Structure formats: C-alpha cells, structure tokens
Amino acid sequence: MRRIGVVATAAAIGLALTACSGGGDGGGDGDEGGGGGTDVEVFTWWAAGSELTGLEALEAVFAEQHPDFTFVNGAVAGGAGSAAKDLLQTRLQAGDPPDTFQAHAGAELTDYIAAGQLEDVSDLYTEFGLTDAFPQDLIDLLTVDGNIYSVPSNIHRSNVVWANPTVLESAGIDPAAVPADIDAWIADLETVQATGVTALSVATTWTQVHLLETVLMADLGAEAYIGLWNGETDWTGAEVTGALEHFETLMSFTNTDRDGLDWPEATQMVIDGTAAYNVMGDWAVAAFEEQGVERGAGFVDFPVPGSDGQFGFLADSFTLPVGAPNPDGATAWLETVGSLEGQVAFNQAKGSIPARTDADPADFSEYQQSAIESYANDAIVPSLAHGAASPIAVLNAVSDATSKFTTGGSDLATYQQELAAAVG
C-alpha cells in the first residue's frame, strides 16, 4: 500500500533532539527590521476561536525570537480557507502578495508552485537546520524538482468523529462502543434521531466535502481511496456509488441550518449537547479543550467508523511568495514556524501534531498522543477537503457538485458523474 506520509514510530518521535538552530536569539542575521520594514503580514484563515488562539501562540514565539519584526494578522475568516484561498489568488494575480501565506502540503501547494508564485526556500532549510527536522515523506510533498517551497507547521487528522457521551447515553448508546462501519453507525444515528436530538451536525459545503472524504476512506479502504487520486479507482464504479449512498444517508441525519454555519458552530452543537456526533478534523479538539470540556467525560472521539487504521492526512505550511514586500520578515516567520519552540507552542493550542519529529509527545494532550501514534502506525491517506489530494480547481468542482447534491439540485447518479468529471 502506498503511503504518502511517514513511518515514524512514536518512540522515534520521543527521541528529543536539539532545539532548532538559530531561533530564540532574537538576532537572526542581524538585518531584522531593515529593507522591507518591520511589518510581516501573515495570511491565514485562522481568524477566530481556537484557530486564532493557535496563531497567537505562534505569534508569541515569533515576538520572542524576532522582536524587531511586527506580526500583522492578515487572516481571512472561513474554515478550510473557504474564503481566504480565493482572495489570496486575487492578490497574487494582482502582484499584491502578503509576506507569507498558509498553504496545504500536497496538490494545493503544487498549484502555487506551478503558477510561479512561490520562492524556493531550500536554503532556509539548511540555514535553520530543518533538513532533518521533518519526515522525508512530508518534505517530498513540499518539494518540486528538488526545490522546497514551504515550511510545515503541523499535521492534522481529518477522519475523526467527535461525540457527546451524555447525549449518547440518554439514547441508550454506550459511548465507549465504537461502531464497526458506516452501516453500524447509521443504526446508532437512527437511535439518536428517535430521541429528538440532531444526530449528526454538519456545516457549510466544505464541511460536507470533509464528511464525504471520510466516508470514501471508510467504505473504500486506504488503497482504493488513494486510487481515487492516482487514477486507479474508478469514480463511476459501484464502490463509489455505495459510499455516496452512505453519504446521502448520513446527510439525512444532519441539521437543516447547516449551509449557514461554519465548523465551529457544528462542533459546538456536540459540545452543547444539541447534537450527538460531528465529523471534523482534529482542530475540533482545540475547541473542546478551550472550553474546558474533557476527553472521556465531556467528549469522545474515534476514527470515522470503517476508517480505523487510516490517518486522513493534511498539513499546513507557510510560504515565501514571489514579490513579498518583506522577505526578511517572512524569512524570520518561517524560522519561527519551523522551530521546535514554535511547533510545540502552536500545536499545543491547535490540536494538531508537530510536523517536526523531535517534539516530545509528553508535551501534548492525550488525544494528540493518540494522533501521533496513528500517524506513526496507520496508512496515511490524503485529505480532499484540505488540499492534500487534489489541486484547488478539482476541489472547487467537487464542492460545487456536493453543494448541488446536498441542496437537492441533483440526484445521486448525476452527483457521481459530476464528481468523476471533476476529478477527471
């Protein structure tokens, strides 16, 4: 089975090496504040809630390591970059790039590279001692023709169910008993729905695509799921039809106001007990933790039924755009992003796991330790909704087809044809 990720054992991750070179002295190369001015515009979609808290944790390390530069928050609200990515494209095409922007490792990053919008930062890997800091398979996703185009900040898992144990218990479901597959889960969803609570919360289109990718993982298995992206699995085949039928059934258990919500509201429904389950990437854990909701008593998590043994992979990374107004400032930001101190602070707040392999798992929550273990041992499969599996244009076409389907504009056969055409 092809893995796009890394085989890094938890033990290897536990072998703490040295802290990053160069970071923490606040001095950089001595040029700070010169040339491009002191402002460093950091463009992300981490605009609110636990995502903003994560960004602020990184900002604090940046301020400590590079006090001569000023962090300027260029965040554009909208989960998964649903608004940010379009705006970014407009700015890049107008020759108005931010100093650095967030991009997903994998096909999404390759888009920007192919468009000539990113500088090669491989020299910085040497300068900051990053070459051995990240798993080789992750570096491969950031590399084109031997050049590396960004510095990863974190790794998230997409295929996670978050559930409210109190709601499950009131429906007579044992929160510790994880359904074996989507059919078994649907039986539980029916039981919950009969109690009058929203069984499964979801939000706007991108979260529906997120749900879809996890159902495809669960129903097809790792190898056939990966085949969807390398041409080996037929999008018009019966396996995909079965997964889409499951997706349709799952959507029938969701809240009707979904299209007006973003992920924090959908996850909040589980926190508040107005929904039993939510499928979301593990940035959701930061929302539970931020509100003091504890794993076990306040929430339970498990891989989307049927996808156990797979790690739905996505990684955020930061770039140096061609024409960045303050390349020195952006370079300083990239140094902080890649530093051990930056990765520990950021990921503790964000719910993700460090991309660096020398972070100590003991510094992270119980949930995150489980993600570190899954990343080390499971099949790594690329996320569709978060730029690992497909270029932005493909994701946009998948999103349009999904929105049409879930708002009643197409039937399942048409939806499947449109997905097949979108991926090409």
Chain contacts with ligand GAL (rule: CB under 6 A)? 45-46, 51, 79-81, 104, 156, 263, 281, 283, 314, 316, 386
Kindly state the smallest distance separating residue 104's Cβ from ligand GAL, in Å.
Answer: 6
Residue 39, strand partner residues: 70
- Minimum Å distance from CB 146 to ligand GAL? 26
Phi/psi of residue 101, nearest 5 degrees:
-135, 160
- At position 34, the amino acid (one-letter code) is G
Q: How far is the CB of 34 from ligand GAL (least distance, A)?
A: 32
Token pair 């730029």 in the structure block, residue = 387
Name the residue number minimizing CB distance to ligand GAL. 79
Q: Whose Cβ is closer to ligand GAL: residue 62's or residue 263's? A: 263
Nearer to ligand GAL, 28 or 79 (CB): 79
Residue placing its CB nearer to ligand GAL in the complex, 162 or 283: 283
CA dist., res. 192 & res. 274, Å (int): 11
- Please say which residue, 281 or 329, places its beta carbon nearer to ligand GAL: 281
The CB-of-82 to ligand GAL minimum distance in angstroms stands at: 8
- Closest separation in Å from C-beta 204 to ligand GAL: 11
Instruction: Specify the residue, 246 or 350, whose C-beta has the smaller distance to ligand GAL.
Output: 350
Token code pair at residue 374: 């899954």
Which residues, in sequence order, are bridge partners of residue 93? none
Instruction: Report the residue number, 168 or 280, with the smaller CB distance to ligand GAL.
Output: 280
Q: Give min distance, CB of 386 to ligand GAL, in A.
A: 4
Cα 272 to its chain centre, rounded Å, is 24
Structure tokens at 235: 């999008």
Distance, in Å, from the CA atom of 207 to the CA atom of 201, rounded to the nearest integer, reads: 10
CB of 337 to ligand GAL, least distance (A): 13
CA–CA dist 127, 44 (Å, integer) = 25
Q: State the nearest-atom distance from the C-beta of 201 to ligand GAL, in Å.
A: 15
> Which of 173, 217 has the CB closer to ligand GAL?
217
For ligand GAL, the closer CB: 219 or 316: 316
CA nearest neighbour of 386 among 316, 291, 334: 316
Q: Which is nearer to ligand GAL, 103 or 359 (CB)?
A: 103
| Smallest distance, ligand GAL to C-beta of residue 153, A | 8
CB of 107 to ligand GAL, least distance (A): 13
182-193 and 238-251 are packed helices; what angle lies between their axes, rounded to 10 degrees?
20
Which of residues 73 and 417 has its CB atom nearest to ligand GAL in the complex?
73
Which sign does the torsion angle of CA 403, 406, 412, 414 carry?
Answer: negative
Strand partners, 270: none
